[in-house]
Structure 1
C-alpha cells in the first residue's frame, strides 16, 4: 500500500488548556473510499490542516496511518500538539495494526511521566511498542509461527510547542516544504533518515555491526537485502531476524538462516531529528516508499504547493502505475 499524509501550516496555532482531541482516524472509517483509494481531502489539527490518501497495492491491506491531535499526554492539561504516523507493513498486517493501536498510547504515557515532549519520550514509545509486539509473537508462536516474519516500517512526526520531532524506522520519509523568501520558491527538505540496504551508509553500518558475517548484506536480483531477505535494516517486528528462538521450524524455510543468530540483525532503534519550525515552513509530507519510488522530494513538494486541494486526484491517476 502507498501512504501519504500532508500536514499544512504546522507552525500556526497556539495550544491552550481548552483544546481537546479533534482528530483520530483510520482509512476506511472517517475518510472516503473510491475503489482501492482511501482519502481525506481536508481535516484540522491543533496547528493547521492535513489531508491523507492511501492506494492499496496488495490484496491484503498491510499498512496503517493515523493522525491524532490534542493532548499528547494522559493528562488534559497537555502538552498539546499533533501526532502523525505512517506504518508500512510487510509480511502481513499484524505489526502495523499493533503499532497503530499502541504506539501513540505509549507516547502519551511517557509524555505524562516526563511532563513534556522530547526525543527520549518518542524513543521510549518505540521501545515499548517493539517489546509489546515481541510479547505478542511469543504468545502466538505455537499456533501462528509465521507472525515472526511480519514487520513494519514506522515513521512518526510530532508537532508540539513549535517543535517538529521526526522519528523513523525503515524507508518511509518525511519531507518539509519551505519557502525561499527571495524567490517565493518552495524547496523540499528531507527531515527523516532512512534505513534501507540500498543506501551505502546503511550497508556500511550493518557491516560494522556484524564484522564476522560476510553475508550480512547480499545483492540479490540486483537489490541489496539484509541477509538476502529484507531491504530495511530497522523495523518494528521481524523478530525472526532479532531472536534466535524465532528463526527455526516451523517458520517457513525461506526465512530461516543457515547459522544461528548471535545478535539481533535488525534494529528497532529509531533515527530521531528535532526541528524548530519557522514561519517560512509551509507543510510536511509523510509517505511510505511507494510514493518516493515514483516522485522525487521536490516533485512531491511541487504537487502539494501547486495543488493543495487536489492531491488525491493526482494519486488516483497514479494508482494503476503503483499496482504494476
Structure 2
C-alpha cells in the first residue's frame, strides 16, 4: 500500500501482527547513519498499527484519552487519533475527523491514517531544503537556533512557525489530491472535516477545515477555569467563505425548515447541501468554492493552560465551549474525561432534540501537563493502554478499502466517473512552487457556536445528461 514516515526515535523494533519484525526509522539526530535520504523515512502503511504511542480507538495514552460513540444515523463516521512521540519526544499529534456522505466513514479513517504522515513528511522535506544537503535534523527544539541563525532567518519561533505552516498547507493539499485519485474510494459526494493540532513543547500548531472544533481549558488570574476557542467553525455563511463560494458560482442558503443551517449548493441543482465551507473530498463542489486549504494558527502555551479538547460537531451542536471545559475539568479521573463528555452530549441530544437523530460524537482530551491518573484508575474505567482493535458501540471493523461487512446506509450512492489511475497511497513530496493560493493572514473571524442539523449533506446531486459531472 502506501508509504509513511515512522517517527519512532527508539532503538527497539516493532512487531507486526503477522510476526514480521519491522526495523524502526531512527530519529534525525545523533544516530549512526552518516548520510540520509528521504527514502530512509518511508515505510508501508501496514506498519501503522505497530507504531508505538499511537491510539485511534477508545482508550487512553500517557497524556490523553479519546472516545467515540455512534449516533443514530448509521455507521459511525467519526475518526480520531493521538500520536505521542510524533517526530521526537515531547511532540504529540492529535486529530478528529468527521466524515459525511455515503463513504464518509472511509474518508475520515483514510485522512486519520495518512494526514499525519504527510504532515511529517513535508516538514522534514522543508527542513532539509532549508538546512541544505546532509542537514536533515529537526529535533523539535524551537527555543534556540544555531549561532547566527536568528539574525539571518529571524527568531526561532518565526522559523518554526513558517515550517509548520508550509507543511500543513502542503499536507492538506496532498491529502485531498490523494483522495481524488483513490481507485476504490468514491469521494465525489463524500468527505470529511479535520481539526488537527501538534503540541511541540510549549508550541501549539493547529490546522483545520470544516466544523469540528478545538477548545482549550485554561485558568484565569483568579484560578477559575475558562474556555478558549482555538479554531473557527468554517461554515458557509462566514463572510469570506460565502464570498469565495459565490464567486465560484456556488450557492449558499439555508432550508426553510432549518434556517439556522447555511449550506452549499450546486449552481444548477438543489444538492448536495453541504453544511461546511471546507472539507476533504466532496469533489462535486470543489469547482464551486468548497476547498481543502486549512486555516493555520500557532499559539504559545503557558502554565495556566490545562487541557485541549478536540471534538466533532456532534458534541458542539448540544454543548457550549464552557460546558465542555467544565465537564472535562470536573471528571473524576482524567482517563474518563472523553467518555463522560460524550455521555453528556448524548443526554443533551435526547433532551434538546428528542425528535432528531443523534449525531456521531468523537472526543480527544489532551492534558498539557503530561500527567494522567494512576494505572488502577485506568483499569477501573475499563480503558486499555494500547490501541484497542475490538469493535465498540456497534462500529464496523475498520478497513481502508471497504472490504468488510457494515450496516446498510440509508443514503443514495453516486459513482464517480473518473479514469484517474494515479498510484494511491505512496507518499510523494511535492514542491508546489508559487502557484498555490493560501488563505489570507488578516482573517479575524469569530467562532460560531454549533447548531443542530439532521445531516451534513441534504441529498446527492442529480446530474442530467445536459450537465455532466463537473
TM-score (norm 1): 0.72
Q: Distance in 2 between the 1:80 and 1:185 partners?
A: 27
Structure 2 residue ranges without an equivalent (≥5): 1-27, 31-50, 128-137, 139-162, 350-356, 359-470
Identify the range of structure 1 (170-179 vs 93-102) with the bigger mean alpha-carbon deviation. 93-102
Larger radius of gyration: 2
C-alpha spacing 1:168/1:308, structure 2 compared with 1 (3 Å): farther
* 1:314 Cα offset (Å): 4.7
The question of 1:43 aligning with 2:67 is answered no
Show the 5 A alignment for 1:92-103: 92=103, 93-103=105-115
Q: Is the 8 A contact 2:95 2:197 kept in 1?
A: yes
Q: Distance in 1 between the 2:235 and 2:344 partners?
A: 28
Query: Cα RMSD (Å) of the superposition?
Result: 2.5
Q: Is the 8 A contact 1:168 1:194 kept in 2?
A: no
Show the 5 A alignment for 1:45-64: 49-57=63-71, 58-64=73-79
Q: Deviations over 1:163-198 (max 9, x none)?
A: 1011110001100111113x110111101122112x
Give the structure 1 partner of residue 252 of structure 2: 217
* 1:208 Cα offset (Å): 4.6
Give the structure 1 partner of residue 226 of structure 2: 187
Secondary structure of residue in 1 paired with 2:61: strand
C-alpha spacing 1:297/1:240, structure 2 compared with 1 (3 Å): same
Show the 5 A alignment for 1:276-291: 276-291=300-315
Q: Distance in 1 between the 2:316 and 2:299 partners?
A: 22
Give the structure 2 partner of residue 239 of structure 1: 283
Q: Is the 8 A contact 1:151 1:238 kept in 2?
A: yes
C-alpha spacing 1:276/1:94, structure 2 compared with 1 (3 Å): same
Q: Deviations over 1:97-124 (max 9, x none)?
A: 2102210111121122123551211221
* Equivalent residues, number: 256
Structure 1 residue ranges without an equivalent (≥5): 1-15, 32-39, 73-77, 243-262
Q: Distance in 1 between the 2:282 and 2:248 partners?
A: 22
Structure with more of its chain in strand, by fraction: 1
Q: Is the 8 A contact 2:327 2:340 kept in 1?
A: no
Secondary structure of residue in 1 paired with 2:195: strand
Secondary structure of residue in 1 paired with 2:217: strand
Show the 5 A alignment for 1:1-324: 22-27=52-57, 31=58, 40=59, 42-44=60-62, 49-57=63-71, 58-72=73-87, 78=88, 81-91=91-101, 92=103, 93-115=105-127, 116=138, 118-136=164-182, 139-140=183-184, 147-181=187-221, 183-197=222-236, 200-202=237-239, 204-211=240-247, 213=249, 216-220=251-255, 221=257, 222=259, 223-227=261-265, 229-242=273-286, 263-307=287-331, 309=333, 310-311=336-337, 312-316=339-343, 318-319=345-346, 321-322=348-349, 323-324=357-358
Q: Is the 8 A contact 1:67 1:84 kept in 2?
A: yes
* 1:301 Cα offset (Å): 0.7
Q: Distance in 2 between the 1:43 and 1:158 partners?
A: 16
Give the structure 2 partner of residue 250 of structure 1: none
